[in-house]
Structure formats: structure tokens, C-alpha cells
Structure 1
Amino acid sequence: MRIGELAAQSGLTTDTIRFYEKLGLVAGARLANGYRDFPPETVPWLHYVRTAQALGFSLAEIAWHGEELRDAPDSAAALSALFADKITVIDARIAELAALRAELTARARTDCPLRPTT
């Protein structure tokens, strides 16, 4: 299917699809007239990419793990492992943000919030 049809079916813009193609997330063959031709299975893959992004995965992470997950015999187990790793990263970030919040709260109550604390 051409890029315009893929965009319509996936709900993405043609610019987004071109960007994803540049990153290696999707691949379209070039027809003799120069148009891109994408296989039908690209539509569900693009939905997967958008869902993964909504779950906090970067495009680089999706590109890095995407092919192995699509081809894995037990992709559910592989996805669960990736999710567990992502949860660990999120928990660490939450702890960092909680510490930052506590620091800001403490400093907000001082005469000069930017002065080093003792």
C-alpha cells in the first residue's frame, strides 16, 4: 500500500511514517515510479509502535527490540521482561523526583533558596 493509504489506516501522518522509515521502524519497497509500497502488516505494527510509545518506550527502544519481539516464539515473555525493566527505570526516576521535590520544598522555606544547605 502507498504511504497515504498507510497513513489513513494507521492514523499517522505521512511525515511520521517517513520519519519512522528513516529510523528503521518501518520499511517500504520503492516502486518503479518512486512511490513507497508498504506491506499490509505495517498497519498493526504502527499501532504497536504507538502503544509502546504511550507506555513510555522511546522510538530507539522500540527500534532496538522491535524485530526480536516480532520474531520471538514467546513474545509475551519477552515483552514482560522489557516491561519489568521499564518499571525498574520508572521506579528509580520516581525516587529521584521525590528527592528533588523534598529538596525544593526544604529550600522554598529558606531566606535564600539557592544558597548551599548545611
Structure 2
Amino acid sequence: MRIGELAERTGLSKDAIRFYERLGLVTGERLGNGYRDFPEEAVTWLYYVRTAQTLGFTLAEIRRHREELREAPDTAAALSALFEDKIRVIDSRMAELASLRADLSERVGNGCPLRAGAL
């Protein structure tokens, strides 16, 4: 299918699909007339990509695990392992943010230590 049909069926813009193609997340074959021709499974795969992004996965993570994601059934242990890894990353980031929040809270009302005169 051409990029316009893929865009219509997925709700993505043509530019977004081209961007994903540049990143290697989706591939289309070039026809003799220069048009892209995408396989039917690109529709399902792009839904997976968007869902993974919604769940906090970066495009780099999706690209790194694309074969696992494409090949695994929805109930696969591999997907659970990816989700558990992502939860650990989120927990770590939450701890970092809590520490940053505590540091900022301590500084409230004490002036700005970043001003030139405070150094």
C-alpha cells in the first residue's frame, strides 16, 4: 500500500511514517515510479509502535527490540521482561526525581544559589 493509505489507516501523518522509515522502524519498498509500497503488516506494526510510545518506550528502545516485539505473541514472556525492565527504569527515574524535589524544597525561600553574587 502507498504511504497515503498507510497514513489514513494508522492515523499517522505521512511525515511521521517517513520519520519512522528513516529510523528503520518501518520499511517500504520503492517502486519503479519512486512511490513507497508498504506491506499490510505495517498497519499493525505502527499501532504497536504508537502503543509502545504511549507506554513510555523510546523509539530507540522500540527499534532495539523490534524483532522481539514483531515476533512475540501479546502474552509472551519476552514482552513481560521488557515491561519489567521498563518499570525498573521508571522506578529509578522516580527516585532521582524525588531526590531532586527534596533538594529543591530545601532551597525554597533561601534565595537563588545560582546568582553571581551568591557564589
User: What TM-score do you get using the length of structure 2 for normalisation?
Assistant: 0.89
Aligned equivalent of 1:114: 113
For residues 6-37 of structure 1, the C-alpha deviation after alignment (integer angstroms, 9 at most, x for no partner) is 00000000000001000000010111111000
Supply the distance in 2 between the matched residues of 1:94 and 1:75 (Cα, whole angstroms).
27
Match runs of 1:13-92 below 5 Å: 13-72=13-72, 76-92=76-92
Percent identical among aligned pairs is 68
Supply the distance in 2 between the matched residues of 1:73 and 1:58 (Cα, whole angstroms).
21
Q: Name structure 2 gaps, 5 residues minimum.
A: 115-119
Alignment size in residue pairs: 114
Report which stretch shifted further, 61-70 or 29-38. 61-70
Supply the distance in 1 between the matched residues of 2:40 and 2:72 (Cα, whole angstroms).
20
Deviation of 1:114 (Å): 1.4
Q: Name structure 1 gaps, 5 residues minimum.
A: none
Supply the distance in 2 between the matched residues of 1:101 and 1:68 (Cα, whole angstroms).
37
Q: Is the 8 A contact 1:3 1:17 kept in 2?
A: yes
CA RMSD of aligned residues (A): 1.6
Supply the distance in 2 between the matched residues of 1:44 and 1:106 (Cα, whole angstroms).
49
Q: Is the 8 A contact 1:29 1:38 kept in 2?
A: yes
